[in-house]
Structure 1
Amino acid sequence: MKNWQIFLVFLLASYILFMSVKHHDPEYFSIHGIRYQVRIVNGFTNNSSLPLVIWCTSQDGDIGGRALQEGDDFSWDTRLSFWTSTPAFSCTMKWDRTRKKFEPFQVHRDTIKSGDSKKCLWLVKEGGFYFSNDEYNWVKDFSWS
C-alpha cells in the first residue's frame, strides 16, 4: 500500500470507531475524549472512630483528599483522548498505622477492566482493595501489605 492509502484507511477506521463509540454511549464520549469515573469507597465495617484517610495526586497536581468515614467515598473523572495524555494518579491511604500507596486508575489496566461502564470503582476494606465496574461484583486486586 502507498502512504496515501494507509492514511485513508486510518481515517476511515478512526471515523468508524468514532461513530460507533458516539452512538453507543454518547454520555461518555465527546470531542474531549472518553470519560472514566474513578471512585474510592471506605468499605471498612465498624470503624466510625477511625476514618480511612486518603490523599490523591496526579502528574498535573493535587486532586485532594479527605478522611472517609464508613461508607463515604472520594471520586473524580478523567478523560482519555487521542490529543492529550491521561495523567497518572497515585493515592496514599492511611488506616490506623497502616499506609498503602496505589494507583486507582491506570490506562493499560483499567480501560479494559472498566468495560462499557467506564467506571473504575475501589472498595477499601480490612482485607485489601477491591475493584468493580458495576458496584455489585467486587474482585480483590491488592492487599494492604
Structure 2
Amino acid sequence: MGNLKSVALTLLLSVSILHLPFAKSVWFLNYHIHITNDLPLLNSPPGKPNLFLRCKSKDKDIGDKAMVKGQDYTWDTKINALQTTLFFCNARWEGRKRRIFDAFVANRDDKRCLEYHGSCMWSVREDGIYFSRNNVTWFNEYPW
C-alpha cells in the first residue's frame, strides 16, 4: 500500500508541476547566450584578438575563445529542474583589464532572457560588460 501512495503522489506532483506557468518556459526552452567583443582596437592591429574569454558551468566547460573586435561567442543551455544553472566567464582585455562575470544565472535570467526569444546578450566594452534583453537598450552590469 505504501508503494501505491508513493506512486500516486509522484504522479500528482508531476502533473501539477507541468501545469505551472513557468514550467514550459523554464525547463524546456533553450537559452542562447551571446557575448560580443565591442572593445576598441586602441593599439591592437585589426584582425588580432584583444578579448579572451573562458566560460563554464559546474558541469560544462564551453572553452577558451580568443576574439577579434565584433566577434560573437555563443552557446545554448537549458535550466535544470532545481533552477540552479549558472555559467560564468573570465574576460580578459589584452594588456588592460580582467573581470569574472555571471553570463547566465537561472533565477536571474529565466524571465529577462525569455522576453527576447530566450537570448541573453552581452557586449564587452571599454567601460564594462553590458547586458541587453532586447538588443536595443544596454545596461553596464559589470564595470571593469
TM-score using structure 2 length = 0.73
Instruction: State the partner residue of 2:40.
Output: 45
Distance 2:90 2:18 in 1: 40
Alignment of 1:1-145 (within 5 A): 13-17=16-20, 21=24, 33-47=28-42, 48-49=44-45, 51-82=50-81, 86=85, 88-95=86-93, 96-116=95-115, 117-144=117-144
User: How many angstroms apart in 2 are the aligned matches of 1:54 and 1:90?
Assistant: 10
Q: Which runs of 5+ in 2 are unaligned?
A: 1-7
State the number of aligned residues: 131
The CA distance in 2 between the partners of 1:61 and 1:16, in whole Å, is: 30
- Structure 1 unaligned regions, length at least 5: 22-27
Any idea what SS the aligned residue of 2:104 has?
A: coil
Distance, in Å, in 2 between the alignment partners of 1:34 and 1:81 is: 11
Would you say the 8 A contact 1:34–1:81 is kept in 2? no
Alignment RMSD, CA only? Answer: 3.1
> What one-letter code is carried by the residue in structure 1 that aligns with 2:138?
W
Normalised TM-score (structure 1): 0.73
Contact 1:118–1:133 under 8 Å retained in 2:
no
